[in-house]
Amino acid sequence: MPERVRQLLPSVLSVLLALGVCWVLIALTLEPGTATDAYLQMLWGGIGNWPAYLDGAAATVITRPLGESAMKAALLTLTGLSVAVAFKVGLFNIGAQGQMLLGALAAAVVGAQVSLPGALHVPAALLGAALAGAAWAGIAGLLRIYRGVHEVISTIMLNWVALSLVDNWLVVGPLRGAAEGGQSITGTAEIQATAVLPRLLGEGSRLNLGFPLALVAALAVWVWLTRTRSGFETRAVGLGAEAARAAGIPVARRMGLAMALAGAMAGLAGAVLVLGTEGRYPGTLGAPYGFDGIAIALIGNNHPLGATVSALFFGVLRAGGTRMQLLGVHKSFPELIQGLALLFVAGRMVWLAVLRRRSVAPAASAEVPRA
Amino acid sequence: MLEVIHSLLFSTLDAAPALIFAALGAVLSERAGVIAVGMEGMMRVGAFCAAVAALTMPTPLAVVMGMLAGAALAGVHGFLSIRWRSDQVVSGIALNLVALAGGTFLLESLYGPNGTPPIQQLTRWNLPGLSAVPVLGALSGHSAPTYLALLLPFAFQGLLTRTPLGLRLRAVGDKPQAVATLGLSVSALRWGAVLGSGLLAGLGGAVLSTAVLDRFEQHTPAGLGFMALAAMVFGRWTPVGAFLAATFFAFGNALRIGLVSSAPGLVELIPQGVLLALPYLLTLGVLTLQGQRSSAPAALGTPYEQESR
């Protein structure tokens, strides 16, 4: 079996196994027929109801679900990239959630309180979000480099600090939006029209510029890691910091920059959420896309493009998940599939052992006739 | 004034046990060299199973069910990280995600979004004579886990520092090769520690739904499992240290809730969010000061391979 396939197979098999286990779970708690229907609904809710469209329904039965999927996939891609980039330099970024919160807040502030012409406002808000996320991740990076504090613990702590400070103080206190038309609002003030990420498929679909932006980011990270000197050095540090140091690579600088880039990606995810769909920093950010990023990156084998593929897949499932509610299956179900898939990916060694046994057996029997 | 102290102490003693048990579980697992990021998930499973079990059986037995459920999840963690040498952080995070989504799914499909039906809470014990004493009277009127939470850390500390088993547990987290050289099984010791941490985390979760509340709620344990990690680090990976840190965090929380209701002016001055962030900021501060001399077990997170000796 070629090496590349052997690398990919555990992830693919894990996702399939998770889909199977979850099907059984619905079949047991509801009915077997419902399980299959629910999966179909999830598919149509994710990629668009093509049968209905071919029967003559309006194009929105396609564009609306696709917009939802793309929106979720964009966020998952960016947080997945955040985790994957840190992984490449040998750091485990559990903190994408906190970095995303800070990025979302920065985007909301720049989007609402700074006035700029249209062509500059969106880039400025994106830049602010990226910098905020990078700074928050940078704290963990500096603690690791200069004080030897393990990044898993520090980023977990930073997540809760971010959540407490942003959701429980800034957004309900100093940065809370003024009442509009006599009604008090939750969250920050609404961003100006110039800061909104333009929608690409008309008003019926929430597909916005954030989606191509996420894809470009993934491509850029991939090119950086594989085609540039600093990207190569980053990977070298991840493979063995001591060897990299001996080879003259500035280990501390590579770690710090990779961590900052990871934070910037998560920060951008926050910006895409605020500028693309929410229009403000809402009372609470809702789904923990930052934590999902861990699953996305690992299922994607910590490869920027692998993470993108897994984000697209789970974006479709997550968007389709809302349709499953029609059949009495809770909309968090795709998250269960995702969690189980990650659990099975964690058992990568088990998969490799099983696959090795499979691939060794035929090879051995092939040798017998020759002898 | 005395009444204020009394009620603060009382609510601290009511809320702290869940955090204390989880923190002790985290210490047990990490001292044996296995990272305990999965505490949150194990607590959630323990809380859910205890609440469901209590619908059909006596509550104390249901608490045991919750503990076993926590241990079962820890068993998965052990299987992946000890038997198959998987990344311990990945495995722990995966268990958290599964417990979070799985708990929501099962709750919604079996009981609806508002949590399980109410159950019989654990009996509260009135210590005769003590209840009349000012301030100290706050020790009376809690359920059994509270008293266990006050004793267990010291017993655990004794076990860890004064017994051969404790020495082996510590050694397996610092230098597993040395333990293996003595002919002891590294994986058996780690399995024991991981399953024990699952029992403790399950107990912490079960306490939440049988003593603190009277049901399993959608968001249980709402980050307590991560705060247990903070308590473990803050307490420098020792049982008594983790106990003190957990109690301190619980006290801080009781104080915050008390202040919000009794002195809203003060909360204007120091925003709630800042107070909420305080335990985590303190933990970060301790880590920053300790730096590389951190008290973390030396072989933490490193899977043991026989050949590496």
Instruction: Judge whether B131 lies within some domain.
Output: no
Instruction: Judge whether B128 lies within some domain.
Output: no
Which one of B108, B277, B288 has the shortest CB-CB distance to A143?
A: B288
pLDDT at B186 over 60: yes
Report chain A residues whose CB lies below 8 A from the CB of B226: 156, 159-160
What's the pLDDT score for residue A356?
A: 77
The chain B residue lying nearest A18, using CA atoms, is B98
Instruction: Judge whether B141 lies within some domain.
Output: no
Instruction: Judge whether B76 lies within some domain.
Output: yes
**Contact A338/B101, CB-based, under 8 Å?**
yes
Q: What tens digit of pLDDT does each residue of A59-112 get?
A: 888 888 899 999 999 999 999 999 999 999 999 999 999 999 999 999 999 999
Report chain A residues whose CB lies below 8 A from the CB of B288: 143, 147, 149
What's the pLDDT score for residue A183?
A: 66
Q: Please, how many CA atoms are within 13 Å of residue B28, restricted to the half-sphere of its CB?
A: 28
Q: What tens digit of pLDDT does each residue of B85-110 get?
A: 888 988 999 999 999 999 988 888 88
Report chain A residues whose CB lies below 8 A from the CB of B23: none
Q: Between these two residues, A246 and A58, which has the higher pLDDT value?
A: A246
Tell me what percent of the residues of chain B surpass a pLDDT of 70: 97
**What residue type is A109 in one-letter code?**
V
Report chain B residues whose CB lies below 8 A from the CB of A155: none
Contacts of residue B125, defined as CB under 8 A and 6 or more positions apart, other chains included, come to: B140, B141, B142, B143, B144, B147
What's the pLDDT score for residue A370?
A: 42
Q: Please, how many CA atoms are within 13 Å of residue A244, restricted to the half-sphere of its CB?
A: 21
pLDDT at A368 over 50: no
What's the pLDDT score for residue A359?
A: 64
Instruction: Judge whether B15 lies within some domain.
Output: yes
Q: What tens digit of pLDDT does each residue of B130-169 get?
A: 777 777 778 888 889 999 999 999 999 999 999 999 999 9
**What residue type is A329 in one-letter code?**
V
Q: Once rounded to an integer, what is the mean pLDDT over residues A121-133?
A: 96
pLDDT at B243 over 50: yes
Assigned CATH class of A3-370: mainly alpha
ipTM of the predicted assembly exceeds 0.90: no
Would you call A203 helix, strand, or coil by DSSP? coil
Which one of A330, A340, A346 has the shortest CB-CB distance to B109?
A: A330
Most confident of the following: A201-210, B199-208, B292-301 = B199-208
What's the pLDDT score for residue A59?
A: 83
Measured between alpha carbons, how far is B23 from B39 in angstroms, rounded to an integer? 9
pLDDT band, residue B190 (cuts 50/70/90)? very high
* CA-to-CA separations, A1 to A26, A301, A344, A355, B35, in angstroms, rounded: 35, 18, 21, 9, 34
pLDDT band, residue A371 (cuts 50/70/90)? very low
Measured between alpha carbons, how far is A74 from B45 in angstroms, rounded to an integer? 31
What's the pLDDT score for residue B269?
A: 75
Q: What are phi and psi of A183, to 5 degrees?
A: -105, 130
What's the pLDDT score for residue B292?
A: 61
What's the pLDDT score for residue B294?
A: 65
Q: Using alpha carbons only, what angle is made at residue A345 by residues A288 and A10, rounded to the nearest 5 degrees?
A: 135
Question: How distant is the Cα of B214 from the closest Cα of chain A, in angstroms?
Answer: 24
Q: What tens digit of pLDDT does each residue of A311-365 get?
A: 999 999 989 888 888 887 887 888 899 999 999 988 887 888 887 776 655 544 4
Contact between B145 and B122 under an 8 Å Cβ cutoff? The reply is yes
Which one of B271, B283, B294 has the shortest CB-CB distance to A157?
A: B283
Which one of B90, B101, B104 has the shortest CB-CB distance to A346?
A: B90
Interhelix angle A118-147/B272-290, nearest 10 degrees: 40
The chain A residue lying nearest B228, using CA atoms, is A157
What's the pLDDT score for residue B17?
A: 94
How many folded domains does chain B comprise? 1
Measured between alpha carbons, how far is B113 from B116 in angstroms, rounded to an integer? 9
Report chain B residues whose CB lies below 8 A from the CB of A345: 90, 94
Q: What is the CATH number of the domain that holds B219?
A: 1.10.3470
Nearest to B235 by CA among B287, B159, B271: B287
pLDDT at A229 over 90: yes
Report chain A residues whose CB lies below 8 A from the CB of B89: 92, 94, 152
* CA-to-CA separations, B34 to A58, A252, B165, B201, B204, in angstroms, rounded: 55, 27, 17, 15, 19
Mean predicted lDDT score pLDDT of chain A: 88
Instruction: Judge whether B138 lies within some domain.
Output: no
* CA-to-CA separations, A26 to A47, A196, B107, in angstroms, rounded: 22, 40, 13
pLDDT at A17 over 80: yes
Instruction: Judge whether B136 lies within some domain.
Output: no
What's the pLDDT score for residue A187?
A: 83
The chain A residue lying nearest B106, using CA atoms, is A29
* CA-to-CA separations, B166 to A318, A349, B156, B258, in angstroms, rounded: 46, 31, 9, 40
Residue ranges of domains in chain A: 3-370
Q: Please, how many CA atoms are within 13 Å of residue B306, restricted to the half-sphere of its CB?
A: 6
pLDDT band, residue B308 (cuts 50/70/90)? low
Q: Once rounded to an integer, what is the mean pLDDT over residues B163-179?
A: 92
The chain B residue lying nearest A341, using CA atoms, is B94
Q: What tens digit of pLDDT does each residue of A74-87 get?
A: 999 999 999 999 99
Domain housing B107:
2-121+146-308
A350 inside 8 A of chain B by CB: yes
What's the pLDDT score for residue A326?
A: 80
What's the pLDDT score for residue A346?
A: 87
Neighbours of A191 (CB within 10 A): 26
Instruction: Judge whether B203 lies within some domain.
Output: yes
